[in-house]
A = this chain, B = another copy of it.
Amino acid sequence: MSEFSRRAVTIREVAAAAGVSIGTASKALNGQGRLREETRARVMAAAERLEFRPNKLAQGLLHGRTFTVGLVTCDSFGRFSIPVMLGAEDALGAGQISVFMCDTRDDPIRERHYVERLLARRVEGIIVTGRRTEPRPSIGADLPVPVVYAMTQSTEPADFSVIPDDLGGSMLAVRHLLATGRRRVGHITGPQRFLAARTRAEGFADALAEAGATAAGDPLFGEWSEEWGRQGADILLRTQPDVDAVFCGSDQIARGVAETLRDRGRRIPDDVALVGFDNWAPMALGSRPPLTTVDLNLGEIGRAAATHLLDVIGGVPHQGGVRRMPCSLVLRESTRV
Protein backbone atom coordinates (compact mmCIF):
# COMPACT_ATOMS: atom_id res chain seq x y z
CA MET A 1 0.00 0.00 0.00
CA SER A 2 2.82 2.34 0.73
CA GLU A 3 3.17 3.91 -2.64
CA PHE A 4 4.32 6.96 -0.71
CA SER A 5 7.40 5.46 0.82
CA ARG A 6 8.98 5.04 -2.59
CA ARG A 7 11.83 7.45 -2.68
CA ALA A 8 12.01 10.05 -5.38
CA VAL A 9 14.05 9.19 -8.45
CA THR A 10 17.62 10.50 -8.42
CA ILE A 11 19.83 11.42 -11.27
CA ARG A 12 22.00 8.44 -10.36
CA GLU A 13 19.18 6.11 -11.31
CA VAL A 14 18.56 7.94 -14.53
CA ALA A 15 22.23 7.68 -15.40
CA ALA A 16 22.25 3.97 -14.65
CA ALA A 17 19.15 3.39 -16.73
CA ALA A 18 20.67 5.26 -19.65
CA GLY A 19 24.01 3.54 -19.23
CA VAL A 20 25.99 6.75 -18.77
CA SER A 21 27.82 8.40 -15.95
CA ILE A 22 26.03 10.67 -13.55
CA GLY A 23 27.84 13.74 -14.85
CA THR A 24 26.85 12.98 -18.42
CA ALA A 25 23.26 12.55 -17.38
CA SER A 26 23.35 15.97 -15.74
CA LYS A 27 24.72 17.56 -18.86
CA ALA A 28 22.14 15.88 -21.05
CA LEU A 29 19.31 17.02 -18.85
CA ASN A 30 20.52 20.58 -18.60
CA GLY A 31 21.58 20.96 -22.20
CA GLN A 32 25.14 21.71 -21.13
CA GLY A 33 28.40 20.57 -22.63
CA ARG A 34 28.94 18.77 -25.89
CA LEU A 35 27.53 15.31 -26.21
CA ARG A 36 26.15 13.06 -28.88
CA GLU A 37 22.55 13.61 -29.78
CA GLU A 38 21.86 9.95 -29.35
CA THR A 39 23.22 9.96 -25.82
CA ARG A 40 21.21 13.00 -24.88
CA ALA A 41 18.06 11.40 -26.23
CA ARG A 42 18.74 8.19 -24.34
CA VAL A 43 19.12 10.09 -21.07
CA MET A 44 16.02 12.14 -21.70
CA ALA A 45 14.05 9.03 -22.44
CA ALA A 46 15.20 7.37 -19.24
CA ALA A 47 14.38 10.49 -17.22
CA GLU A 48 10.97 10.65 -18.79
CA ARG A 49 10.26 7.01 -18.15
CA LEU A 50 11.35 7.20 -14.52
CA GLU A 51 9.54 10.49 -13.98
CA PHE A 52 12.74 12.10 -12.87
CA ARG A 53 12.41 15.53 -11.30
CA PRO A 54 15.68 17.22 -10.31
CA ASN A 55 15.75 17.85 -6.59
CA LYS A 56 15.41 21.59 -6.09
CA LEU A 57 16.92 21.34 -2.64
CA ALA A 58 20.12 19.91 -3.97
CA GLN A 59 20.23 22.44 -6.75
CA GLY A 60 19.60 25.21 -4.28
CA LEU A 61 22.37 24.04 -2.03
CA LEU A 62 24.75 24.09 -4.91
CA HIS A 63 23.79 27.40 -6.46
CA GLY A 64 23.20 29.20 -3.24
CA ARG A 65 19.77 30.13 -4.53
CA THR A 66 16.44 28.67 -3.48
CA PHE A 67 14.00 30.53 -5.73
CA THR A 68 11.61 30.93 -2.85
CA VAL A 69 10.21 33.92 -1.02
CA GLY A 70 8.14 34.22 2.12
CA LEU A 71 4.75 35.87 2.25
CA VAL A 72 3.89 37.03 5.73
CA THR A 73 0.39 38.30 6.25
CA CYS A 74 -1.22 39.90 9.25
CA ASP A 75 -4.65 39.98 7.72
CA SER A 76 -5.55 36.36 8.26
CA PHE A 77 -5.58 36.22 4.49
CA GLY A 78 -8.53 38.50 4.51
CA ARG A 79 -10.32 40.54 1.98
CA PHE A 80 -7.46 42.92 1.38
CA SER A 81 -4.42 40.75 1.49
CA ILE A 82 -5.73 38.00 -0.75
CA PRO A 83 -5.82 39.99 -3.96
CA VAL A 84 -2.45 41.39 -2.98
CA MET A 85 -1.11 37.89 -2.54
CA LEU A 86 -2.52 36.80 -5.85
CA GLY A 87 -0.84 39.68 -7.62
CA ALA A 88 2.41 38.89 -5.89
CA GLU A 89 2.19 35.20 -6.65
CA ASP A 90 1.53 36.11 -10.23
CA ALA A 91 4.67 38.15 -10.59
CA LEU A 92 6.76 35.62 -8.69
CA GLY A 93 5.38 32.52 -10.31
CA ALA A 94 6.36 33.81 -13.70
CA GLY A 95 9.93 33.88 -12.41
CA GLN A 96 9.67 30.29 -11.21
CA ILE A 97 9.72 31.47 -7.62
CA SER A 98 7.69 29.55 -5.09
CA VAL A 99 5.98 31.21 -2.17
CA PHE A 100 5.88 30.16 1.47
CA MET A 101 2.77 31.46 3.13
CA CYS A 102 2.60 32.41 6.78
CA ASP A 103 -0.26 33.96 8.67
CA THR A 104 0.75 35.69 11.86
CA ARG A 105 -2.76 36.21 13.22
CA ASP A 106 -1.47 39.59 14.28
CA ASP A 107 0.73 38.00 16.89
CA PRO A 108 4.25 39.49 17.07
CA ILE A 109 5.67 36.34 18.66
CA ARG A 110 4.30 34.25 15.87
CA GLU A 111 5.59 36.73 13.35
CA ARG A 112 9.11 36.58 14.72
CA HIS A 113 8.88 32.83 14.72
CA TYR A 114 7.80 32.71 11.09
CA VAL A 115 10.53 35.06 9.97
CA GLU A 116 13.10 32.85 11.62
CA ARG A 117 11.68 29.83 9.93
CA LEU A 118 11.70 31.53 6.55
CA LEU A 119 15.30 32.57 6.97
CA ALA A 120 16.25 29.03 7.94
CA ARG A 121 14.67 27.94 4.70
CA ARG A 122 16.83 30.47 2.93
CA VAL A 123 14.08 32.41 1.26
CA GLU A 124 15.51 35.10 -0.97
CA GLY A 125 13.10 37.78 0.16
CA ILE A 126 10.03 38.49 2.23
CA ILE A 127 6.76 40.24 1.42
CA VAL A 128 4.70 41.53 4.32
CA THR A 129 1.05 42.25 3.73
CA GLY A 130 -1.58 43.74 5.97
CA ARG A 131 -5.05 45.11 6.06
CA ARG A 132 -4.29 48.58 7.32
CA THR A 133 -2.13 51.19 5.74
CA GLU A 134 -0.81 52.65 8.96
CA PRO A 135 2.88 52.21 9.66
CA ARG A 136 3.68 49.10 11.65
CA PRO A 137 6.93 48.05 13.33
CA SER A 138 9.52 46.72 10.94
CA ILE A 139 9.50 42.96 10.64
CA GLY A 140 13.09 42.79 11.76
CA ALA A 141 16.05 45.09 11.63
CA ASP A 142 18.94 44.26 9.39
CA LEU A 143 17.61 41.01 7.96
CA PRO A 144 19.87 39.17 5.53
CA VAL A 145 17.23 39.32 2.78
CA PRO A 146 15.22 42.17 1.28
CA VAL A 147 11.73 42.88 2.58
CA VAL A 148 8.86 44.80 1.03
CA TYR A 149 5.60 45.82 2.63
CA ALA A 150 2.39 45.65 0.62
CA MET A 151 -0.90 47.18 1.71
CA THR A 152 0.83 48.17 4.91
CA GLN A 153 3.93 50.17 5.66
CA SER A 154 6.83 50.03 8.02
CA THR A 155 7.69 52.68 10.57
CA GLU A 156 11.27 52.32 9.41
CA PRO A 157 11.99 54.83 6.63
CA ALA A 158 14.64 52.55 5.14
CA ASP A 159 11.96 49.95 4.37
CA PHE A 160 10.06 49.91 1.11
CA SER A 161 6.26 49.84 1.08
CA VAL A 162 3.53 49.79 -1.55
CA ILE A 163 0.15 51.16 -0.56
CA PRO A 164 -2.89 52.46 -2.40
CA ASP A 165 -3.20 56.12 -3.21
CA ASP A 166 -6.22 56.77 -1.02
CA LEU A 167 -5.95 60.49 -1.53
CA GLY A 168 -6.03 60.25 -5.30
CA GLY A 169 -8.80 57.67 -5.17
CA SER A 170 -11.01 59.97 -3.15
CA MET A 171 -10.37 62.82 -5.49
CA LEU A 172 -11.40 60.66 -8.44
CA ALA A 173 -14.67 59.90 -6.70
CA VAL A 174 -15.50 63.45 -5.72
CA ARG A 175 -14.48 64.90 -9.06
CA HIS A 176 -16.83 62.42 -10.69
CA LEU A 177 -19.69 63.52 -8.48
CA LEU A 178 -19.01 67.16 -9.25
CA ALA A 179 -18.71 66.41 -12.94
CA THR A 180 -22.19 64.91 -12.93
CA GLY A 181 -23.55 68.11 -11.51
CA ARG A 182 -23.70 67.44 -7.79
CA ARG A 183 -23.09 70.41 -5.55
CA ARG A 184 -23.90 69.30 -2.02
CA VAL A 185 -21.59 66.38 -1.34
CA GLY A 186 -21.38 64.74 2.08
CA HIS A 187 -18.81 62.28 3.39
CA ILE A 188 -19.45 59.33 5.69
CA THR A 189 -16.49 57.18 6.58
CA GLY A 190 -14.75 54.90 9.08
CA PRO A 191 -13.04 55.60 12.39
CA GLN A 192 -10.77 58.61 12.50
CA ARG A 193 -8.01 56.52 14.05
CA PHE A 194 -7.59 54.79 10.67
CA LEU A 195 -5.09 56.44 8.38
CA ALA A 196 -7.20 55.37 5.41
CA ALA A 197 -10.23 57.20 6.79
CA ARG A 198 -8.25 60.36 7.42
CA THR A 199 -6.56 60.28 4.03
CA ARG A 200 -9.80 59.67 2.18
CA ALA A 201 -11.43 62.55 4.04
CA GLU A 202 -8.50 64.70 3.02
CA GLY A 203 -8.96 63.76 -0.62
CA PHE A 204 -12.63 64.59 -0.29
CA ALA A 205 -11.79 68.06 0.97
CA ASP A 206 -9.05 68.62 -1.59
CA ALA A 207 -11.26 67.71 -4.53
CA LEU A 208 -13.99 70.04 -3.34
CA ALA A 209 -11.48 72.81 -2.77
CA GLU A 210 -9.95 72.50 -6.22
CA ALA A 211 -13.45 72.93 -7.68
CA GLY A 212 -14.32 75.78 -5.39
CA ALA A 213 -17.17 73.76 -3.91
CA THR A 214 -18.08 73.35 -0.27
CA ALA A 215 -18.89 70.13 1.55
CA ALA A 216 -22.30 69.20 2.84
CA GLY A 217 -21.12 69.30 6.42
CA ASP A 218 -18.01 67.93 8.03
CA PRO A 219 -16.95 64.35 7.28
CA LEU A 220 -18.77 61.95 9.55
CA PHE A 221 -16.34 59.49 11.10
CA GLY A 222 -17.78 56.29 12.57
CA GLU A 223 -17.25 52.60 11.94
CA TRP A 224 -16.50 50.46 8.87
CA SER A 225 -19.97 48.93 9.02
CA GLU A 226 -23.32 49.01 7.27
CA GLU A 227 -24.95 49.85 10.54
CA TRP A 228 -22.89 53.01 10.80
CA GLY A 229 -23.72 53.80 7.18
CA ARG A 230 -27.40 53.74 8.09
CA GLN A 231 -26.89 55.91 11.14
CA GLY A 232 -24.56 58.28 9.36
CA ALA A 233 -27.05 58.77 6.57
CA ASP A 234 -29.72 59.64 9.11
CA ILE A 235 -27.48 62.26 10.63
CA LEU A 236 -26.54 63.65 7.25
CA LEU A 237 -30.13 63.89 6.04
CA ARG A 238 -31.12 65.63 9.24
CA THR A 239 -28.29 68.16 9.28
CA GLN A 240 -27.93 68.63 5.52
CA PRO A 241 -31.37 68.10 4.03
CA ASP A 242 -30.29 69.42 0.65
CA VAL A 243 -27.46 66.90 0.21
CA ASP A 244 -27.38 65.58 -3.37
CA ALA A 245 -24.43 63.18 -3.17
CA VAL A 246 -22.62 61.07 -0.58
CA PHE A 247 -19.08 59.86 -0.86
CA CYS A 248 -18.50 56.92 1.49
CA GLY A 249 -15.28 55.59 2.96
CA SER A 250 -16.19 51.99 2.17
CA ASP A 251 -18.70 49.95 0.21
CA GLN A 252 -20.17 48.60 3.40
CA ILE A 253 -20.88 52.09 4.63
CA ALA A 254 -22.28 53.03 1.24
CA ARG A 255 -24.65 50.10 1.39
CA GLY A 256 -25.97 51.22 4.72
CA VAL A 257 -26.37 54.72 3.36
CA ALA A 258 -28.25 53.37 0.36
CA GLU A 259 -30.70 51.56 2.60
CA THR A 260 -31.45 54.60 4.69
CA LEU A 261 -31.86 56.78 1.62
CA ARG A 262 -34.40 54.32 0.23
CA ASP A 263 -36.19 54.16 3.57
CA ARG A 264 -36.41 57.95 3.58
CA GLY A 265 -37.75 58.03 0.05
CA ARG A 266 -34.68 59.51 -1.64
CA ARG A 267 -34.05 58.01 -5.05
CA ILE A 268 -30.52 56.93 -5.99
CA PRO A 269 -29.02 58.40 -8.07
CA ASP A 270 -31.81 60.81 -9.07
CA ASP A 271 -32.05 62.60 -5.73
CA VAL A 272 -28.79 61.54 -4.16
CA ALA A 273 -25.76 60.04 -5.91
CA LEU A 274 -23.61 57.58 -4.03
CA VAL A 275 -19.99 56.48 -4.28
CA GLY A 276 -18.35 53.75 -2.22
CA PHE A 277 -14.75 52.68 -1.72
CA ASP A 278 -12.99 49.30 -2.10
CA ASN A 279 -14.96 47.81 -4.98
CA TRP A 280 -15.75 44.79 -2.88
CA ALA A 281 -17.88 42.94 -5.39
CA PRO A 282 -20.43 41.18 -3.20
CA MET A 283 -21.19 44.44 -1.40
CA ALA A 284 -21.03 46.81 -4.31
CA LEU A 285 -23.08 44.60 -6.61
CA GLY A 286 -25.60 43.43 -4.04
CA SER A 287 -26.49 46.99 -3.16
CA ARG A 288 -29.62 48.59 -4.59
CA PRO A 289 -28.64 50.13 -6.89
CA PRO A 290 -25.15 48.69 -7.54
CA LEU A 291 -22.47 51.06 -6.34
CA THR A 292 -20.08 53.26 -8.19
CA THR A 293 -16.92 52.79 -6.16
CA VAL A 294 -13.18 53.27 -5.99
CA ASP A 295 -11.10 50.21 -6.82
CA LEU A 296 -7.87 49.84 -4.86
CA ASN A 297 -6.20 47.75 -7.56
CA LEU A 298 -4.93 45.40 -4.91
CA GLY A 299 -3.56 42.98 -7.45
CA GLU A 300 -1.37 45.74 -8.84
CA ILE A 301 -0.11 46.52 -5.37
CA GLY A 302 0.93 42.91 -4.89
CA ARG A 303 2.49 42.77 -8.31
CA ALA A 304 4.42 45.97 -7.73
CA ALA A 305 5.69 44.75 -4.37
CA ALA A 306 6.79 41.43 -5.82
CA THR A 307 8.43 43.07 -8.79
CA HIS A 308 10.36 45.40 -6.54
CA LEU A 309 11.45 42.43 -4.45
CA LEU A 310 12.64 40.59 -7.53
CA ASP A 311 14.58 43.64 -8.61
CA VAL A 312 16.37 43.90 -5.31
CA ILE A 313 17.06 40.17 -5.28
CA GLY A 314 18.41 40.60 -8.78
CA GLY A 315 20.86 43.21 -7.58
CA VAL A 316 19.10 46.52 -8.09
CA PRO A 317 20.18 48.66 -5.13
CA HIS A 318 17.56 48.79 -2.43
CA GLN A 319 15.89 52.08 -1.65
CA GLY A 320 13.46 52.78 1.15
CA GLY A 321 10.27 54.72 0.65
CA VAL A 322 6.57 54.51 0.02
CA ARG A 323 5.04 53.88 -3.36
CA ARG A 324 1.41 54.82 -3.74
CA MET A 325 -0.44 52.90 -6.44
CA PRO A 326 -3.23 54.69 -8.26
CA CYS A 327 -6.85 53.76 -7.61
CA SER A 328 -9.50 53.68 -10.29
CA LEU A 329 -13.16 54.52 -10.41
CA VAL A 330 -15.72 51.87 -11.30
CA LEU A 331 -18.98 53.34 -12.59
CA ARG A 332 -22.29 51.73 -11.72
CA GLU A 333 -25.93 52.66 -11.23
CA SER A 334 -25.53 54.67 -8.05
CA THR A 335 -24.14 57.63 -9.99
CA ARG A 336 -25.72 57.23 -13.42
CA VAL A 337 -26.69 60.64 -14.70
Contacts and interface: CB of A to CB of B under 8 A. Distances in A.
Contact of A142 (B1, B3, B93, B96): B3
B252 A312 contact: no
A297 interface: no
Interface string A290-328: 000000000000000000000011000110000000000
Given A57-B121, A76-B82, A82-B82, 11 more contacts: A3-B142, A7-B64, A55-B122, A56-B122, A89-B101, A93-B102, A98-B102, A99-B100, A101-B101, A225-B285, A252-B286
A259 to B, nearest CB: 8
A218 to B, nearest CB: 25
Interface string A52-81: 011111101100101010010000111000
A100 B282 CA distance: 29
Nearest to A7: B64
Nearest to A256: B286
Given A64-B7, A227-B286, A53 B119 contact: yes
B120 A53 contact: yes
Contacts of A2: 317
A31 B105 CA distance: 32
A314 to B, nearest CB: 11
9 contacts: A1-B318, A3-B142, A8-B122, A53-B120, A54-B120, A55-B120, A57-B60, A98-B117, A100-B101
B3 A255 contact: no
A154 to B, nearest CB: 16
Interface in A152-207: none
B144 A8 contact: yes
